[in-house]
Structure 1
Amino acid sequence: MELDDLPQEILINIFSRLPPKSVGKCRCLAKSYRDKLSTPHFIKSHLTSKPHQENLLLITPSYSISTIKDDAISRKLELPGNWFEVMGSCDGLVLLIDKGFEKFLVNPITLQQFKVPISPLALDKNESLCLDGFGYDSSSDDYKIVTLTHYDTVNKPRPNDIFVDVYSVKRGVWKRIDNLPYDHPGVELSPGALVNGALHWLASRREPGHPPVIAAFNLAYEVFDEIPAPSGIDLQNFNYNKLVALGDCLCIIHDNQGDGPINVSIMKEYGFEESWTNFSINGDIEWFIAKPLCWIGDEEVVWVSAEYNLVVYNWTSGTLRDMVVDGGPAMAMDGGTFVESLVFPPFIGA
């Protein structure tokens, strides 16, 4: 019996267990393999067939992209461009912005890239501020890019409005939904933190005192909800904090005015205020640039430092160390995580 004689479901089950690069080699064996291993059904089966290890993706000081696997070996990606910031990652797709503020979806494994079209609703980039987020809507089997924009000048009409635009990767269209029902602090222009099917930003209510909230944009229903902030948080400096996703948890890096230890809060159980866990980092990492990237095991977190170094903090022992990659200290301007997959926009929803 030849491999092609096996039932279709058995073939898919076998190939779904291979790493993406091995699947790519199998596609080159014959046209029949290429066709079978390129269908949306197979790509989705491959994505969900096994647990995926997170890999690091870094934007280097030379504006190129490299990846790190197993905390030791890097690989420069042959993706031309001057890359500037990692705006999000989901199912192996990474949303990147280049120095010209153009958006791209990139698969670091297949090296495919897709330029996101400019929204016809977009404000003039020279007169506005913009925050992006990227995630997956399981209800419609669609990947979505969400952009919050507002005028950066009081001389424009409706200067206090924050516009919410959503790009459907599946349908290839932008649309504008209701404006953000909050005021965004506007100090830390962080990307939306993707946790539990929602993108999260720090914001404040439009009422006396402007109480701070964590605004959660549900990608399926395209509405905003609120997530409780840590109790005892400094309300005066709330808009100087930074909100990110660390693993599957929301994480807040508290403002320390550039002095003293960095205080960090992690929401261990999504949506429950009591699950916020706090710890402090003592060391030479300035709050306004430091960004946690990923966990190493259960005790260590990889950070990008103010000097673009990668450092590892052990929150059990309270110690810092340089992250060694390719035999020496690693450097990056920005970074994020991704899983290995075959997902790419032309296959989505086909």
Structure 2
Amino acid sequence: MALPCDLIFDQILCRVPVKYLLRCRCVSKEWCSIIDSAAFINKHAKTIIESNAGSGIIITGSETLFLTDTESFYGDEDVVVTEIKDPLKTVFPGADFVGVANSLLCFCKNNWNDFLLYNPSTRKHRKVPSMGEFVLWFDMVNVSQCGFGYDHVNDDYKIVKVVDFCGLVVMVYSLRSNCWTQIHKVPDNIEIYPKSRKGMFASGALHWLAAKKMPASSFIILGFDLGFERFNEIPSPVARNGNFYIADGGSLCIVEQCTNSRTDVWLINNYGAENPWYKAFSVEQPGPLGSFRAFSPVVFSRSGKDVLLEVDSSKLVWV
């Protein structure tokens, strides 16, 4: 007895990882049409979020990007990693990776003024419209920041562009409305670090390493809530400028080089608390990683006791 189509799509396929959905599109024209529909894409994304299954991980290479899913790291079978080729090498060559939210990828180019959204499950893309006259403003500065994330309050995806042009200028793109708007209520006593170009998405907000101008060198994490489109400040766990990452599960993570031989990793324990950070672990060298220049957390194990590290942008190691 065949299963009803509604049951197949609403209860089964919406839980299938992205890499297998590409194969399912080849079953029939009906399956392809439904999987490509906006309704199914939204339902699939929400199901992934609610199940905490982990919708996707981007692994960077020297000149390429690779996409996999969290479940691949926990199974007994070999990890399946897919190189992202189109549309980056055809309609959007030379692009930089901005971020990923629910397996929807964001890229940018031309001084981070041109953006493209790409859905690897359907292999469809959308070029984001221009910011108009604001592009001229942004071209006047050498460094700008941007970020991409999911707005769960309004069921929307948003790109945020920030520059310091006689004060912070903030523009937000909404996928739902397909247009840019300017945020007028911005902090006036904060400087975002130039190297913190990509906003890290976690807990419904984008985050950058920053400092308060008064008192001098007061390190903070500057957050921008995508749902309510407002800024907030999170105290930094380190007294110096560390490296900033996002580990799988949406955890803010700071990697602090303490000495030539020891590196500490800090994680958010309770977002919004007065002292939200805790030291998750330290890595010594020489040690289990051998000699290395740098590493970044990629994903934590289900037990939370092990972490997968990308070491020197060339290998993945469980510790």
TM-score (normalised: structure 1): 0.71
Question: SS of the counterpart of 1:45?
Answer: helix
- The alpha-carbon distance between structure 1 residues 22 and 304, as it changes in their structure 2 partners (threshold 3 A), is closer
Is this contact kept in 1: 2:117–2:128, CA < 8 A?
Answer: yes
- The alignment partner of 1:16 has SS state of helix
What corresponds to 1:77 in structure 2?
Answer: 84
What residue ranges of structure 1 are gaps of 5+ in the alignment? 152-157, 315-350
Aligned to 1:163: 169
Q: What aligned pairs does 1:172-321 form with structure 2 within 5 A after superposition?
A: 172-178=178-184, 179-230=186-237, 233-234=238-239, 237=240, 240-247=241-248, 248-256=250-258, 259-278=260-279, 279-283=281-285, 284-286=291-293, 290-297=295-302, 298-306=304-312, 308-312=313-317, 314=319
> d(CA) in 2 for partners of 1:171 and 1:219?
14
Residue type at the aligned position of 1:281: V
Tell me which moved more, 90-99 or 169-178. 90-99
Shift of 1:11: 5.2
Task: Give the secondary structure class of the aligned counterpart of 2:293.
Answer: coil
CA contact (8 A) 1:86 1:95 kept: yes
* CA apart distance, 1:191: 1.4
Contact kept? 1:302, 1:310, Cα under 8 Å: no
Q: What does 1:12-161 align with in structure 2 at a 5 Å threshold?
A: 12-20=10-18, 23-24=21-22, 26-28=24-26, 30-49=28-47, 51=51, 52-61=53-62, 63-68=63-68, 70-71=72-73, 72-79=79-86, 80-81=88-89, 82=93, 85-98=96-109, 101=112, 102-120=114-132, 121-122=134-135, 123-125=137-139, 127-151=141-165, 158=166, 161=167
Q: Could you tell which deviates more after superposition, 136-145 or 52-61?
A: 52-61
Q: Aligned Cα RMSD in Å?
A: 3.1
- In 1, Cα distance between the equivalents of 2:6 and 2:59? 38
- CA deviation map 1:209-262 (0-9, x unaligned): 3532222111111111122332xx32xx3xx32222223321112254x83422
Return the alpha-carbon distance in structure 2 between the equivalents of residues 10 and 58 of structure 1: 31
**190 and 259 in structure 1: CA distance in 2 versus 1, 3 angstrom threshold:** farther
Task: State the 1:165 CA deviation.
Answer: 1.0
Q: What secondary structure, in the 3-state scheme, does the structure 2 residue paired with 1:253 have?
A: strand
Q: Does the residue aligned with 1:44 lie in a helix, a strand or coil?
A: helix
Is the contact between residue 193 and residue 209 of structure 2 (CA under 8 Å) also seen in structure 1? no
Equivalent residues of 1:59, 1:84 under 8 A apart = no
Give, in angstroms, the shift of residue 134 of structure 1. Answer: 0.9
1:335 maps to which residue? none
What SS does the corresponding residue of 1:254 show, helix, strand or coil? strand
Distance 1:245 1:32 in 2: 38
Q: Match for 1:87: what amino acid?
A: V
Change (3 A) 1:175 1:273: same
Taking only the aligned residue pairs, the percentage that are identical comes to 24
Structure 1 residues 301, 182: CA separation in 2 closer, same or farther (over 3 Å shift)?
farther
Structure 1 CA distance for aligned equivalents of residues 64 and 5 of structure 2: 44
Structure number with higher relative contact order (C-alpha < 8 Å, ≥ 6 residues apart): 1
TM-score (norm 2): 0.77
Please name the residue that 1:343 is paired with: none
Q: Are the equivalent residues in 2 in contact too, given 1:164–1:180 (CA < 8 A)?
A: no
Q: Does the 8 Å contact 2:56/2:102 carry over to 1? A: no
AA aligned to 1:228 is P
Residues 78 and 111, structure 1, Cα contact 8 Å, conserved in 2:
no
Q: Which runs of 5+ in 2 are unaligned?
A: 74-78, 286-290
Shift, 1:31, TM fit:
4.9
2:288 corresponds in structure 1 to none
C-alpha change, 1:250 and 1:7, in structure 2 (3 Å) is closer
SS of corresponding position for 1:277: strand
Superposed CA offset, 1:245-297 (max 9, x none): 223321112254x834222211122122444221322234435xx43322244
